[in-house]
Structure formats: C-alpha cells, structure tokens
Amino acid sequence: MKDLLKQLTVLYGPSGREHTVADVIESLVKDKVDSVRRDALGNLICEKKGTGAKRIMFAAHMDHIGLIVTHVEKEGWLRVSNVGGINVNMSRARRVKFMNGVQGVLYEQALKAGENSALSTLFIDIGAKDEAEALSMIEIGDIAVYAEPAFDVGKTRMVSPAMDNRSACALLIGLLSNLPENHQSIVAVFTAQEEVGVRGATVAAYSAQPDEGIAIDVTVAGDIPELKLNAVKMGEGPAVKIKDTRSISHPDVVKRMIDAAKRAGVPYQREVLPYGGTDAGAMQLSRGGMPVGTLSIPCRYVHSACEMIDLQDMENGLKLLVEYIKA
C-alpha cells in the first residue's frame, strides 16, 4: 500500500487535468477488471462482475486542488485563481509545479495597510525575467499544484499534498486487487472534478446506473491542537460517514459498513462532518436516487501541501471494504 501511495501521490492531476493519474491507474487495474472506459469529464470507469446480485459503485476522486493562471504580468509574475478549495493562508512560499514540469514559487505580494490576503494577492514566480519568457514556459489557463514530495513520518504515517484523494484511489485499487471469491458486482470509478463540485461523479453515476454508491475520500482529522470540531482521529481506524453537508449516508449502508468492520476485526470511527462533501452527494441524487455512504480516511492538514494520513487506517479500510463487498 505504501509503495502504491507513493506512486500515486507524485502524479500531476488537478481538476480537469486528471489524465496522467487515470493513465497510471488504468495500467494498474486493467488486468483485474472486465472493462475500462473514460468519459467526457475524465472519469475512469472500471467494471468487475461479481456473483452477487448488487452493483455497487465506488467513487474515489483523482483530482486535487490547484491554482490556475489567469494573467501574466509584464515582470513575468503569474496571477492565479483557485481550482477547488485553496486556502490562501496555507499558500505562501510554496513550491508548485505545472503539467509540463515547469516549477515555481507561490508567494504573496507585500500587503498595503489594511489590505487582506486573498487569491488576488498571490502570485507564482517561475523564474522568468519578463512576460514573454513566462509565456514561453506556460500558457494562460495552465494549472499549478503544490509540488512538495511525499515523505514518511513516524512509524506508519505519510505526508503529501495529494493525500486528498490519492489515498482513496490507492484503497480502491487495493480493493480491486484483493477481491474475495464471491462478491457483488463492482463499478470502480476514479472520478474527475470532485474538488470543484462533485462533477465527475454526477455524470459517472448517471451512466453507470448502479444500485448503491460508496464514496471513498479523506476526512478532516480533528485531533490536532485546538481543533475541536470533529471527533475523528488519525490512526484509530477508517471512518464511517454518517453525514456531511452534501449527503446523509443511508442507515442501512452505515450499518453494513460497521458490521463489515466488526467481521473484519478492524477499528472504525463514526464520522459527522459539519462541512464539506464527497462524491456520495452526487451519486445519491443521480436518476431516481440510490442509497449511498462514504468510507473516510482520517487526514490531518487537508487542503494543504502537507496532508498526513496513517497507513494503518488505509490497511484497515481495505479489510473493511473487502468484507463489505462479499456476496
């Protein structure tokens, strides 16, 4: 799991530009499933028929947040807007990279008295001496992402700017690699454009038309100093989502997830998130609706360049999911 996660977290893939991630995942799973296809929004949709009567869609989004170039100044500075939930306070003095490999420093201009930080006070320095040189390196509309490399911390923990949500992609790949003998039919969708409003899952759920939808995503671990919003702790097991602002998990899905955790003998946590949402919110409203749930991987420092997860939560999440899909 650790090697897989390292492989996935270094890939470039902001919302709308997920194809590199999709290419790698496709190469990893194509022998394990019956069919693989892409759609217009960039979703990677993999089907594996099972012996069970149910078709379950699993959604793990491939995209991460980024900064899109809107303007190049005469001096060569790149001005940016956000792609997804960029936090300005976590964006100063960051190493960033573009799809074509160009790297730069994301920094904030000197603020006038009384001026507040905003996306419009940020800029990227790609080392260009002027506008013309900058435009020879990147184009308006190109997207930069936090470029810090993944690294290990402690005994079982790992940090990367792309834990949200490559950790869930790794979990879903893990599930396809560890299918039990008798299982429900699986539609494993590695979704696009989640961070800008669960767009990929919206269309994938429509075309796949499953019986049930399960999102796999990170959730905010509330175990850091003075953050008392959320009871979920990193390292204490995968979290079974009860609700967030986009969906209320179906009680039967919640119960079956918890039963699966108990059967697998893994710890689990109940999660109520007072903000945010996952692909479950999109799947739930597709066509005539479907029961949905979310399995969450507790993650510290979400939407920063240093998102931290505990690999034990992922291993336990995998055991839970393998148990969950048994027919």
Partner 1 sequence: MDLKTLCELNALGGREEAVRKVVYDICVDKLGKDAVSFDGMGSVIAMRKAKNTSLPRVMFAAHMDEIGLIAVSAGDDGLINFRAAGSVDPRVLLSKRVMVGYGEDAVPGVIGYMPIHLQSSDEYHAAPTIEKLSVDIGAKDKAEAESKAPKGTHITFATKYTEFGDGFVCAKALDDRVGVYNMLRLLDAEYDGELTLAFTSREEVGLRGSKTAGFRVQPDIAIVLEGTTANDLGDTEDRFKVCIPGQGPCVSFMDLSSIADHELFKLVLKAGQAESVPHQIKKYVAGGNDAGAIQRAGAGCKTVVISVPCRNIHSPSSVCSLQDVDNQYHLAQATLKHLMKG
Closest contact distance (angstroms) between CB of 327 and partner 1 is: 27
Q: What amino acid occupies position 122?
A: L
Cis peptide bond upstream of 165, omega within 30 = yes
Neighbouring residues of 184: CB distance < 8 A, sequence distance ≥ 6: 50, 52, 53, 54, 55, 56, 325, 326, 327
Stretch that binds partner 1, among 10-18, 159-167, 222-230, 271-279 (CB under 8 A): 10-18
Q: Is 141 in the site for partner 1 (CB under 8 A)?
A: yes
Nearer to partner 1, 175 or 201 (CB): 201
Closest contact distance (angstroms) between CB of 99 and partner 1 is: 9
The tokens for 319 are: 């055991």
Select the residue interacting with partner 1 from 185, 202, 247, 312 (CB under 8 A): 202
Report the C-alpha gap between 60 and 316 in whole angstroms. 17
Report the C-alpha gap between 168 and 239 in whole angstroms. 12
Is residue 110 classed as helix, strand or coil in its secondary structure?
coil
300 phi and psi, to 5 degrees? -90, 150
CB atoms under 10 Å from CB of 236, counted, come to 18
Select the residue interacting with partner 1 from 1, 10, 28, 41 (CB under 8 A): 41
Select the residue interacting with partner 1 from 207, 242, 306, 322 (CB under 8 A): 207
Query: Of 148, 194, 195, 307, which residue is the catalytic one?
Result: 194
Is 131 in the active site? no
Is residue 252 classed as helix, strand or coil in its secondary structure?
helix
CA dihedral 200, 202, 206, 211 (to 10 degrees): 110
Q: Is 83 in the site for partner 1 (CB under 8 A)?
A: yes
Residue showing tokens 């393998």: 322
Closest contact distance (angstroms) between CB of 16 and partner 1 is: 4
Q: Is 135 in the site for partner 1 (CB under 8 A)?
A: no
Nearer to partner 1, 129 or 287 (CB): 287
Closest contact distance (angstroms) between CB of 279 and partner 1 is: 13
Catalytically annotated residues? 194
Which positions lie near partner 1, rule CB under 8 A? Answer: 15-17, 39-41, 43, 68, 70-71, 73, 79, 81-83, 120, 140-141, 193, 196, 199-200, 202-204, 206-207
